[in-house]
Amino acid sequence: MKKAIIVGGGLAGGLTAIYLAKRGYEVHVVEKRGDPLQDLSSYVDVVSSRAIGVSMTVRGIKSVLAAGIPRAELEACGEPIVAMAFSVGGQHRMRPLKPLEDFRPLSLNRAAFQKLLNKYANLAGVRYYFEHKCLDVDLDGKSVLIQGRDGQPQRLQGDMIVGADGAHSAVRQAMQSGLRRFEFQQTFFRHGYKTLVLPDAQALGYRKDTLYFFGMDSGGLFAGRAATIPDGSVSIAVCLPYSGSPSLTTTDEPTMRAFFDRYFGGLPQDARDEMLRQFLAKPSNDLINVRSSTFHYKGNVLLLGDAAHATAPFLGQGMNMALEDARTFIELLDRHQGDQDKAFPEFTQLRKVQADAMQDMARANYDVLSCSNPVFFMRARYTRYMHSKFPGLYPPDMAEKLYFTSEPYDRLQQIQRKQNVWYKIGRVN
Write out pLDDT tens, residues 179-214.
888 888 888 888 899 999 999 999 999 998 998 989
Spatial contact of 313 and 287, defined as CB atoms under 8 Å apart: yes
What integer pLDDT is reported at residue 392 of this predicted model?
A: 61
Spatial contact of 397 and 380, defined as CB atoms under 8 Å apart: yes
| Phi, psi (deg, nearest 5) at residue 62 | -65, -35
What integer pLDDT is reported at residue 151 of this predicted model?
A: 93
232: left (phi over 0), alpha (psi -120 to 50) or beta: left
Q: Which residues constitute the domain of residue 155?
A: 3-48+109-186+288-364
**Same domain for 21 and 115?**
yes
Helix 374-389 and helix 409-428, axial crossing angle in degrees, nearest 10: 100
Is residue 339 a part of any domain in this protein?
A: yes
Q: Is 144 exposed, middle or buried (0-12, 13-18, 19+ CB in 10 A)?
A: buried
Is residue 85 a part of any domain in this protein?
A: no
Spatial contact of 362 and 313, defined as CB atoms under 8 Å apart: yes
**Same domain for 382 and 292?**
no
Is residue 345 a part of any domain in this protein?
A: yes
Residue 200: how many other CB atoms lie within 10 Å: 12
- pTM, 2 dp: 0.89
**Same domain for 353 and 380?**
no
**Same domain for 310 and 422?**
no
Q: Is 427 exposed, middle or buried (0-12, 13-18, 19+ CB in 10 A)?
A: exposed
Distance CA 234, CA 245 (A): 26
Is residue 246 a part of any domain in this protein?
A: no
**Same domain for 380 and 358?**
no
- Written as one string, the DSSP assignment of 316-334 is S-HHHHHHHHHHHHHHHHH
**Same domain for 8 and 38?**
yes
pLDDT in tens, the chain (429 residues): 899 999 999 999 999 999 999 999 999 999 999 999 998 777 765 444 445 567 899 999 999 999 999 999 999 998 899 988 888 777 788 888 888 788 889 988 888 999 999 999 999 999 999 999 999 999 999 999 999 999 999 999 999 999 999 999 999 999 998 888 888 888 888 889 999 999 999 999 999 899 898 988 888 888 888 988 877 889 999 999 999 999 999 999 999 999 999 999 989 999 999 999 999 999 998 888 889 999 999 999 999 999 999 887 777 788 999 999 999 999 999 999 999 999 999 999 999 999 999 888 887 777 666 665 555 555 666 666 665 666 665 555 666 777 778 888 888 888 777 666 544 444 333
Spatial contact of 28 and 127, defined as CB atoms under 8 Å apart: yes
In the listed set 330, 345, 364, which residue is the last one of a domain according to the structure?
364
The sign of the CA dihedral 78, 79, 82, 86 is: negative
What integer pLDDT is reported at residue 426 of this predicted model?
A: 44
Is residue 117 a part of any domain in this protein?
A: yes
Distance CA 266, CA 273 (A): 13
Distance CA 181, CA 365 (A): 32
In the listed set 345, 364, 383, which residue is the last one of a domain according to the structure?
364
**Same domain for 165 and 296?**
yes
Give how many domains the chain has, as a whole number. Answer: 2
Q: How many CA atoms lie less than 13 Å away from 114 in the CB half-sphere?
A: 21
Residue 179 belongs to domain with CATH number: 3.50.50.60
In the listed set 330, 364, 398, which residue is the last one of a domain according to the structure?
364
Pairing of strands 106-108, 54-56: antiparallel
**Same domain for 325 and 404?**
no
Is residue 34 a part of any domain in this protein?
A: yes
**Same domain for 360 and 409?**
no
Spatial contact of 285 and 48, defined as CB atoms under 8 Å apart: yes
Is residue 17 a part of any domain in this protein?
A: yes
**Same domain for 296 and 352?**
yes
**Same domain for 336 and 299?**
yes
Is residue 25 a part of any domain in this protein?
A: yes
Instruction: Fill in the amino acid letter for 424.
Output: K
Residues in the chain: 429
**Same domain for 354 and 377?**
no
